[in-house]
Each structure stands twice: as structure tokens, then as C-alpha cells.
Structure 1
Amino acid sequence: MSCRWLTPGMKTVDDKALFAVEWDLTATVDGWVFGVFTFLIGDVCVGDPEDTSVDMLGVARWVRDFLSVPRNRFEEGLFAMPAERVYALLAGSVLAGGGDSGAHVEPYENTFARFHLSHLGMSSFDAVTLLLVKDENGAERCIWQIGSGPVSDACFPPSTLESVLAEFLHAFEMRCPNPTRTGA
């Protein structure tokens, strides 16, 4: 695992160049910490790199929750399904206007809490639906759609996202220790 500066003020945390977090702090106002937060999956930027008003304390809170409350992201056969089918099952069943049919039957218990990760990026991921599924050995598969674009996916070794996000959280907390909000 490595950390490298890409541009002044922008830091990327990555693992084998498969998955990375790109982030920067842009402003602090009344205890609110704003910045840029995106994922790099292979050579694809997931998130809005122009959104400089991401609530970075919210991001840190969601990442901390992701790391401290592991979810069962395995369901038999799900990992091997075509990306479009997984997306239709997991997004279409719980998001308004999602999927390819009018029926919104949740195929797995707690689908949103178990498989959806878009909340991690706060406002940067407003136009993104990001899913994470795992196989029986813990290998990870991200499946995402940006806006109405094509459904994409990428696979990673076990614990890749967890390792990279833990490194991001550590780096963020070193750069922004003990922040408190005084504004509403």
C-alpha cells in the first residue's frame, strides 16, 4: 500500500493501482471541513472531482462505520452474475426509478445497507450508484453506474477496499485531527 501526491494538495491512497481514494481539503468554515473525494477504480474516476464542497467529516464518519461494522456482502451466485444483472437486482430493488421493471422486490434482506456504498462519497457521489459484493473467499467486486451511463465493474483481492479506506481515514485524521463543528 502506498500514498502518493498527484497534484499539490491532492493525495491518493492506493493498493496495487486497482482501487484508490483521491481527496483534498478545500476549506474549513465554522468547524465544517470541505473537500474533494473520489474513487479511482482502474483508470476511471468515480465521483465528481469538481465538487469541492464534500462534507469530509461526513465522509470520515461513513468510512469509519464501513470499517467498524462489516456487512455480509456475499450471496450465492451474485459475484459471478453479469454486472448489469447484479445492478438491476441490487439497485433496481431499492432505488426509486432503478432497475428494468416496475416491480421493486428486494431480493436479499437489507439490500441497501449490505451492498450500497454511494453514501461514502457524500455529495461527490450524488450521480453515482456504487455497489460492493463479495465472493465466498472475500474477493471484492465493485459495480457502479455514473448518471445514466453504462454499468461498470471491477474486481479486487479480499480486503482491498477496506485497506485503502483505512489508509485514507488514517491520512485524513492526521491532516484534520479532532475537528468539531460549531455551525449548524
Structure 2
Amino acid sequence: MEDVKQNIDELMEEWLQSGHLRQGDIFVIGCSTSEIAGKRIGTSGSEEIAGIIFQAMNKLRDKAGVRLAFQCCEHLNRALVVERETVREQHLEEVSVVPVPKAGGSMASYAYKHMHDPAVVEFITAQAGVDIGETMIGMHIQHVAVPLRLKQRFVGDARVTAAYSRPKLIGGARANYENTRMDGSCK
């Protein structure tokens, strides 16, 4: 468990240093605690691992000022657990379900039990996110998603993929993209 904590802390520090998170951004977390433990996704969920990940995500939230969205598994159509405040601010539609480890996943279930005022939504458009264990968060990332290459490529035994978004480029050859969120890496 100490390795998992060290891995996730390093991963969150890289995110903070990346410069791709802004106050108020939605940050989606897809996480297979089974994969982190070296097992097949959906087979060996762990509340203990979920707790470690949840604590690290809360630190990211506090330091970067982002809103967290914990993705459920495919049994709940990859719905997301968010704070009810996010539902109101983002004008999201709440759905009636409570994630549990076998239907929602250990991470989403843990988040639901430990958030201040949790709610579940079916869809969200996040500005950034992390996928720990190949849980397929891409459906929740705003267009245009840009991969973020992190040094910390694993949490436990689970592979890590990360992405942030940038505004779409419009206007063609005559357009000016100065003073935008473009960092030059997408040319």
C-alpha cells in the first residue's frame, strides 16, 4: 500500500506541475482498484486502495481548485460521482443510483460514501482527467483531448493514462491563436 500511495502522490504532483489545470476545471478520475492490486479489472475491488486514491484526489482538488468527478464502472454506464454543488453549478442532470463495489466499482462507491454531499450524473464534460487501470474516461473529456505524457506511468500494477483538453482550432490559415490555451504541442 505504501507503493500505491507513493505512486499516486507522484502522479498528482506531476499534474500540479503540468500547468494544465485551472481553478474550476472538472477533473475526471477513472480508477480500477483491482488493476492497481495486480488483478483483472472488476474482480478484486479494494476500499483500502480507493481510500488512498481518494485522499490524493482531494489534495489535488484543494491545491488546484478543480472539481472532482469519480467515474463508475460500465455496470452503471460509466456514470460519475460528483458533489451536488457541481451538479448545480454545471447544470447537470442527477440520476437515481448509489454506486456499490459490484455495481459502480470500489472507487466510485468509496467516493460516494466520503464526499460532502454526493450526487451521481450520467454525463459530464471534464477539462482533464486520469485513467488508472484502463477504465475508459475518454467519453467524459471535452473536445479536444490532448494526451499528457507523465513520468509516473503506473499506480501499483495499473497503467496510467492522462489527458487535458484545449479549445478547438477554428479559422484556418488566417486565424491567430496567440493568448490561447495552445502550448504549441498540437501543431
- The bucket for the TM-score relative to the shorter chain is under 0.3
User: Larger % of helix: which?
Assistant: 2
TM-score (norm 2): 0.27
Q: Which has the higher contact order (CA 8 A, sep 6+)?
A: 2
More strand by share: 1
Q: What TM-score comes out, normalization by structure 1 length?
A: 0.27
